[in-house]
Amino acid sequence: MLPEPKCLITGGAGFIGSHLADTLMLHRCKVAIIDNLSSGSDENIKRWLHGPNVTFQEVDILNQQEMVRTLDGQKIVFHMAANPEVRVGTTSPRIHFQQNIQGTYNILEAIRKTGTVETLVFTSTSTIYGEAAKIPTPEDYAPLRPISMYGASKLACEALISSYSHNYGFKAIIYRLANVVGPRSRHGVVYDFINKLKQDPKRLEILGDGTQTKSYLHITDCIDAILLGLKKASERVEIFNIGSEDQISVKEIADIVTQQMSLNDVEYHYTGGVDGGRGWKGDVKNMLLDTSRLKAAGWRPRLNSCQAIEETAAKMLRGN
């Protein structure tokens, strides 16, 4: 599956990173995992920690010297470390600047200084498109005008990666992800709804007006797409959208979660939102990615948005 059986994952104890580690370990790769455990957990990777093919270090990508030491000798780097909370950028933009832009710069400097990394895989986001006029949105859509600090920071990372790739001779694969859901996720709408309903099973606060409509992708489909894109990418810098083929509204997600929890007569309380019903400043109301590039390469999601939400809610309620 991989051209080189040795690789490193930044943010490898987090939601997406730990699922990637699972798949790589099942394919007998040698995996180095680094994570500062600010949003990830070593519980996510504990099944592999005593095996011969995995190493784990609790380090921060903001430590540039440590990154040079850690990346030396690596061939493939999956860079997934980032602050996953989109909303925090409204009140604390410095967080996204440091953990996304500064952290990515440190990774790129380590790649430049060591000279061993051949391929960098980076998880970006659909929010770099902002309020796209074209739905579904293809990879060549322009102009790119993100409306959140999170989207802006990821777009800055993409630009840095492209320039470093062309100047220092390594291959870069950038994935623009839709909303990825599944077990181990500790943020996002499904996680929030379940926690709110556990506290008050009769009333659910919904940010915005409930009409926000987006694409949701199950984590297993996301990992399959990431690894297929790695295999198929041929350009110096490749960009792929990853998302489901349909959309679902926030109100529909609330319906699914309440059904999964066997709750009846739940009163939905909409906050009304900002800027025409958004959940928060920078919230994109309508998102659907054009994934025809990856589908042409042989990938197709197993679950649609509704099924991904249903499976995620069911597993979260079982403690996964």
pLDDT of residue 5: 67
Question: If pLDDT is split at 50, 70 and 90, which confidence band does 95 have?
Answer: confident
Question: If pLDDT is split at 50, 70 and 90, which confidence band does 1 have?
Answer: very low
- Name 40's Cβ contacts closer than 8 Å, sequence gap at least 6: 11, 12, 13, 14, 15, 17, 18
Mean pLDDT throughout 114-128?
97
One DSSP character per residue, 206-252 reads ESS-S--EE-EEEHHHHHHHHHHHHHH--SSEEEEEE--SS-EEHHH
Contact 282, 85 (CB under 8 A): no
Q: Which position has the token pair 């008050």?
A: 200
For the chain, how are helix, strand and coil distributed in percent, rounded to 5? 40, 20, 40
Provide the percentage of residues in the chain whose pLDDT is more than 70: 96
DSSP label at 48? Answer: G
Q: Higher pLDDT residue, 5 or 60?
A: 60
Token pair, residue 4, equals 């080189």
Mean pLDDT throughout 97-105?
94
Contact 33, 56 (CB under 8 A): yes
Q: Measure the CA–CA gap between 148 and 127, rounded to whole angstroms.
A: 7
What is the CATH number that goes with domain 6-180+217-242?
A: 3.40.50.720
* Residue ranges matching CATH 3.90.25.10 in the chain: 186-214+246-287+302-317
Q: Is the pLDDT of residue 227 over 60?
A: yes
Mean pLDDT throughout 180-203?
95
Question: If pLDDT is split at 50, 70 and 90, which confidence band does 90 have?
Answer: low
Contact 162, 237 (CB under 8 A): yes
Q: Is the pLDDT of residue 2 over 80?
A: no
One DSSP character per residue, 131-195 reads S-SSSSBPTT----B--SHHHHHHHHHHHHHHHHHHHHT-EEEEEEE-EEE-TT--SSHHHHHHH
Q: Is the pLDDT of residue 34 over 50?
A: yes
pLDDT of residue 50: 86
Average pLDDT, the chain: 94
Q: Is the pLDDT of residue 297 over 70?
A: yes
pLDDT of residue 87: 63
Weakest mean pLDDT among 110-114, 135-139, 184-188: 184-188
* Residue ranges matching CATH 3.40.50.720 in the chain: 6-180+217-242
Question: If pLDDT is split at 50, 70 and 90, which confidence band does 3 have?
Answer: very low
Q: Which position has the token pair 């920690």?
A: 49
Mean pLDDT throughout 210-234?
96
pTM recorded for the entire structure: 0.95
Mean pLDDT throughout 104-132?
97
Q: Is the pLDDT of residue 212 over 50?
A: yes
Provide the percentage of residues in the chain whose pLDDT is more than 90: 85
Question: If pLDDT is split at 50, 70 and 90, which confidence band does 52 have?
Answer: confident
Mean pLDDT throughout 278-288?
93
Give CA separation, 240 vs 77, 122, 138, 295, in Å: 17, 11, 9, 10
Q: Measure the CA–CA gap between 15 and 182, rounded to whole angstroms.
A: 8
Mean pLDDT throughout 34-39?
93
**Taking the mean position of all CA atoms in its chain, how far away is CA 266?**
31
Please give the CATH superfamily to which domain 186-214+246-287+302-317 belongs.
UDP-galactose 4-epimerase, domain 1 (3.90.25.10)
Mean pLDDT throughout 151-160?
97
pLDDT of residue 93: 81
